[in-house]
Amino acid sequence: MLVTAFCLSDIVVLGRVSRRGQDDHVQFDIKLLWGMVRYHLVIPFARFRGSSVKLQTDRRGHSLGVNSGTSTEESVDAETVKNTFEKVRDMLRFTLDLTEVVKRMLRNIRLKEWSWTTTVGTGDAVSTAMTTGLAWSVKTSALGVLSQLVRLQTSPEMSVTPLFNATAFSTRLQFKAKIRVAAVAMSGVRLLIHAGRAKGGLSGWFRLLKDLQPRRV
């Protein structure tokens, strides 16, 4: 009974992404076991240093009454991006029909909340109007693609506010998504099966998991 209840429980992800001027803020809250296990990730800002970007990250966890937390600074440069692309290429090589496995998992995600507000202004009425139209186009296209990948179970809230007499830009996206624990487990099983069918798939995945550690400075 407890195992069944656990498998039918939800993993809940609350996401907030915002940009105001030069200030960025990314925050994710993940809950499972009905909130008894929680994970909190905040990336409050990014700093440019030469040819790399320094990401200040705050991670906090809460599991069955035990709290933990770390604060790190991670470096993202051209080499990091190159290594990421190489790892994605390896994932495709080590897994038969990986894109199909990912699509099937995404279809189990239920999007329960979606709110995206944006304010734009260029200081010129004509270019502000054009930028506003472009922003609406980007938002509707993104939502259209998203609705093809996950199950949209809410009425999305989106707005673009033009400022005709000022130069400004701010945007804020907030969403809530849920997926069953059983769906995640089944996706893991499918991944193992598809990796096992590819030449060197399982051993390749083990190597990737060992290498997928963030570089800290």
Question: What pLDDT sits at residue 120?
Answer: 94
Contact in structure between 181 and 10 (CB atoms under 8 Å): yes
All structural domains of the chain, each given as residue ranges with its CATH number in brackets, are 10-76 (2.20.25)
Element (H, E) at 46: strand 37-49
Which range, 28-32, 58-62, 81-85, 201-205, is most confident? 28-32
- The β-bridge relationship of strands 110-122 and 10-20 is unpaired
Dihedral angle sign, alpha carbons of residues 135, 141, 144, 145: negative
User: What's the whole-model pTM score?
Assistant: 0.76
Residue 105: pLDDT over 70: yes
Question: What pLDDT sits at residue 217?
Answer: 45
User: What pLDDT, in 10s, does the model give residues 16-59?
Assistant: 999 887 778 889 999 988 778 888 888 766 555 555 566 666 77
Which residues, 6 or more positions from 142, have their beta carbon under 8 angstroms from its beta carbon? Answer: none
Six token digits for residue 98: 């990986």
Q: Of all residues in the chain, what percent carry a pLDDT higher than 90?
A: 42
